[in-house]
Structure 1
Amino acid sequence: MHTIGTPGLWLAFSLLVVIALVIDFAVMRAGGAHKVSYKEAAIWSIAWIVLAMLFNLGLWYWLGQRGDPALANETALQFLTGYVVEKALAIDNIFVFLLIFTRFGVSAELQQRALMVGILGAIVLRAILIFIGAALISRYHWILYLFGAFLVYTGIQMVRAPNDETDFDSNPMLRWMRSHLRLTNEYHGTSLSVMKEGVRYFTPMFLVIMLLAVTDVIFAVDSIPAIFAITEDPFIVLSSNVFAVLGLRALYFLIAGMSERFHLLNYGLAAVLVFIGTKMLIVDVWKVPIGLSLGMVAVLIGGSLVASRLIPPAEANR
């Protein structure tokens, strides 16, 4: 398995992520439970994007200093493309997160903590999936074709059922937790469990956090194969994935209230999946340049956002 990830590079990346999370937790705790404003969400979104770009710049510089400018340029472009793809596909997660919070009546003040803990779980689960995927691809090249076909199919399904509702009550994990765990009917602040007469009960917040993490991993089944179409290097796949997920909490508060404004976004995301899936299917015939991939993703997502503003929802649904 070819990778630029040396032990030192993996250590540096891990330390940077841990430090960023500690700072994020500290700021969140200092601010207490509160409704996140649009301005606060915008500042944090920009901060996470800047951190990702600084990491990419440092990666580019480090590789260039090792005497391989071509590899440095290609790797930096791969990271940027992977980051943009994961960030774009993460928008779909946000709309489902909004459904979860609405379904379980999570107040705006408690949503921030729920997202933070849920994202931590998602990072761990995504890392496991990425390493499994990288190991399989390095051994069985034909799996790329399965990934490609799956992405094309998923993109087509998104177009055929763009407004498909999620039925949480039929979720197997939720049904298992309700039948095997002692649960309270009311929230106890941000607590995941409470003691009642010497018996531990789990709160609705615990259910919400578990659903957030598992929902993100379900969506990762789409997004992780998509980034393997850009690069098979597990270090680039994981680092771009993690940086995209780290900013998910801020991105949620930034655009959660704007879902109706971008009613055609699902079509743009579907087109991205079909494009990337097709790219994987023709990888042995023509390897699509990274720059072209980045441009296509930007055009498809940007085009769906612009179209959402130009075409009213009533006309789009005719």
Structure 2
Amino acid sequence: MSAELDISLLVWALTVAFVVVLLAVDLVVAAMRPHHVGFGEAAAWSVFYVLVAIGFGVWFTLHYGSGPGTEYFVGYLVEKSLSVDNLFVFVIIMATFAVPDEHQHKVLTFGIVLALIMRAIFIALGATLLSLFSFVFLLFGLLLIYTAVQLFRHRDEDPDIEDNVVVKTSRRVLPVTEDYVEGDLTTRTRGKRMVTPLFLVLVAIGTIDLLFALDSIPAVFGITAQPYVVFAANAFALLGLRALFFLVQGLLDRLVYLSTGLSLILAFIGLKLILQWAHEDIDDRVPEIPTLLSLAVIAVVLVAVTVASLVRTRRDPSVKAHAGSLRARRASAGQADRKRRVADRER
């Protein structure tokens, strides 16, 4: 990893301000003009955000050197690949709560804001811990390997949103309306303040964002220990998430090996962190994994799983992709009854 960077407060402030402005534009568009986002609009926004991320990377490389610049691009690639798994879960949440097309734009933007806030907190905590205790590299590495194993074991499952503790508690303690009430979070019905299903959607996305932050922040710290690079890679990867959702939501079902690929990437970065810890704390003869090798491995894995997924679904169109889960999904009695009724009707 490169030496400690001297990032001035002005650069930090301008970077954060730039990200906030882009988020504000998204929020204003979502709030002022609720509408179905078509393929053309989604493609244009996706290209724009990718170009913004690349432009930032070029500027960063020119000002701070090829080492930090490479770390940024590798970190961006890691976060972008993990964000696609976010999209799977977002699709599941949208389907579970039957979110109307015109409100999905708003939900995604708020979800991205929540994700950025949570990741900023984890970045600050992670950077502080790494500066104080080098064995945190070992803890992060073991966490990523555990996550990779769990994701691989449950790669053919989806997370159970309705079984989410926070969502279940919200349903139990808050009065919820039947419809979305024009996209408001709360409304007054017969003199009583109630929340709408959109509020529950944001609760679900917020808790999912928290879980993803627990994986993605250690993953990018496996590429670089620079807090500024970690923040930038996360921010620019997440900024394009909303547009990417509308662009690829029809293609997500075809990425049947994505969870397998992500588990391999997380395991590789976990191993990289453990070797980093061993090199620094045990014996400097322990080899480290260079950043460029990390870039090559991650790129090869992503290309391989994408091509293999498309070939598999072309041969067998009935195969569907899953987001993967960190624990086995346990169907409730009601869910089991519904599945049996569906099976009976199909027979």
Do both proteins adopt the same fold according to a TM-score greater than 0.5, normalized to the shorter chain?
A: yes
1:1-318 matched pairs, under 5 angstroms:
2-29=4-31, 32-63=33-64, 72-283=65-276, 284=279, 285-312=286-313
CA shift at 1:27, angstroms? 3.7
Q: Provide the rounded CA distance (Å) in 2 between the counterparts of 1:156 and 1:4.
A: 37
Q: Provide the rounded CA distance (Å) in 1 between the counterparts of 2:13 and 2:78.
A: 25
CA shift at 1:18, angstroms? 1.7
Q: TM-score, normalised by structure 1?
A: 0.92
Q: TM-score, normalised by structure 2?
A: 0.84
Structure 2: 5+ residue stretches without partners: 280-285, 321-347
Q: Provide the rounded CA distance (Å) in 1 between the counterparts of 2:260 and 2:319.
A: 11
SS class of match (1:189): helix
CA shift at 1:316, angstroms? 8.3
Q: Provide the rounded CA distance (Å) in 2 between the counterparts of 1:29 and 1:173.
A: 26
SS class of match (2:206): helix
CA shift at 1:131, angstroms? 0.6
User: Which is further off, 110-119 or 20-29?
Assistant: 20-29
Q: Provide the rounded CA distance (Å) in 2 between the counterparts of 1:3 and 1:190.
A: 44
CA shift at 1:254, angstroms? 1.4
CA shift at 1:247, angstroms? 0.9
Structure 1: 5+ residue stretches without partners: 64-71
Q: Provide the rounded CA distance (Å) in 2 between the counterparts of 1:16 and 1:199.
A: 40
8 Å CA contact retained: 1:137, 1:143: yes
Q: Provide the rounded CA distance (Å) in 1 between the counterparts of 2:179 and 2:164.
A: 21
Q: Provide the rounded CA distance (Å) in 2 between the counterparts of 1:21 and 1:93.
A: 18
Q: Provide the rounded CA distance (Å) in 2 between the counterparts of 1:157 and 1:117.
A: 28
Letter in structure 1 aligned against 2:202? I
TM-superposition CA deviations, 1:285-316 (whole Å, max 9, x none): 22211111111111001100001122347598
**Which residue does the alignment assign to 2:283?**
none
User: Which is further off, 8-17 or 174-183?
Assistant: 174-183
The percent identity for this pair of structures is: 35
SS class of match (1:115): helix
8 Å CA contact retained: 2:30, 2:109: no
8 Å CA contact retained: 1:156, 1:270: yes
Cα RMSD over matched residues?
1.9
Distance 1:160 1:123, change over 3 A: same
Aligned residues: 308
Letter in structure 2 aligned against 1:234? P
8 Å CA contact retained: 1:86, 1:227: yes
8 Å CA contact retained: 1:122, 1:214: no
8 Å CA contact retained: 1:119, 1:212: no
Letter in structure 2 aligned against 1:92? D
**Which residue does the alignment assign to 2:340?**
none
